[in-house]
Amino acid sequence: MKKILKEIKYLLWALNGFIGLRLRSNAPQKATILFTYFSPVRMKHINHQLRNIFKCDFVGQVIISNHNPDVDIASMIKVRDARIKIVNQPVRRGCGHRWLVANEFSPEYLIVVDDDVLIFPWQLRQLFAALVAEPEIPHGFAGMVQHEDGFLEYRQEEERSLDYICEVYALTGAHLKRFMELRHEIVKDETLGRMVESAADFMIVSRSGSRAPKIHDAGRLFRCPTYNATGVAVHKDDDFSNSMMGVARALNALASNHPTADSVPMGGTHGSI
């Protein structure tokens, strides 16, 4: 029954891309939307994803970064819109490379969506409104709280501050600039650089604001069937937890060595709602 319900929801999501209402934003600003694809099995959702995104009038451009040079992603895109920008990487890249791609476009407002999240237009509008209303910090729909013992607790469907956002990210050009600065310091260690490239980029993004990021209640995120599949989902890799902890320690060390008003220490928000 659960599988059938998910299939029905997928059909409704896909159908919304064709016949759903167009959504307007009260803000005059435009957002850049960025997706990264590597796995061909997730690329099959790309046209439905684009149709749903273009239901929002605040979308200025959509960047599709193809991190798998063995796949011709352009041939898979049937949606025709001048706002679509395809960037093909010459070598295989991890998800963390997406921020370098975004930086090349100098976006004022940026929304980055993991390739296993099937986003609805009203969710995009809600997230963009939150970013425009509070541009000092990054925003998302899901994230993690760091407890005193180091345990990371996943949270969603809430309005709250927390330590890390993940899966969907809304940030400003200033946050992206700060991300690049922090990344520059972190990747001086080649091992940490590989961690950021493969999976731990969300930790740096979460430290790019003037204080802890926030998540918002847009209902449970709708994900494709492979979101939890070993060999496809990055968070299922054996060294995922070690990667996170290594980058977290490096970020804390940077904050300790160079304390500023913008420093957000790990584990500093677990008591705030």
Residue 18: how many CB atoms within 10 A of its CB? 10
Name the token pair of 42: 């997730």
Cα 257 to its chain centre, rounded Å, is 28
Specify the pLDDT at position 231: 46
DSSP state of 2: H
Specify the pLDDT at position 193: 94
How confident is the prediction along the chain (273 residues), in pLDDT tens digits per residue?
888 999 999 999 999 999 999 999 999 999 999 999 999 999 999 999 999 999 999 999 999 999 999 999 999 999 999 999 999 999 999 999 999 999 999 999 999 999 999 999 999 999 999 999 999 999 999 999 988 887 889 999 999 999 999 999 999 999 999 999 999 999 999 999 999 999 899 999 999 999 999 999 999 999 988 766 554 444 445 565 666 788 888 888 888 776 554 444 445 553 333
Helix 46-53 vs helix 121-133: crossing angle, to nearest 10: 50
Look up the CATH superfamily of 2-172+214-229. Spore Coat Polysaccharide Biosynthesis Protein SpsA; Chain A (3.90.550.10)
Torsion angles phi and psi, residue 102, rounded to 5: -60, -40
Specify the pLDDT at position 232: 44
Structure pTM? 0.90
Task: Provide the residue count of the chain.
Answer: 273
For residue 161, what are the CA distances in angstroms to 73, 141, 209, 223, 237? 37, 11, 12, 23, 27
Give all strands (DSSP E) within the chain, no chain letters.
31-37, 59-66, 84-88, 109-113, 139-140, 142-146, 152-156, 160-161, 164-166, 168-172, 214-215
Specify the pLDDT at position 119: 98
For residue 238, what are the CA distances in angstroms to 2, 26, 47, 231? 28, 44, 32, 10
Domain boundaries, the chain: 2-172+214-229
Specify the pLDDT at position 220: 94
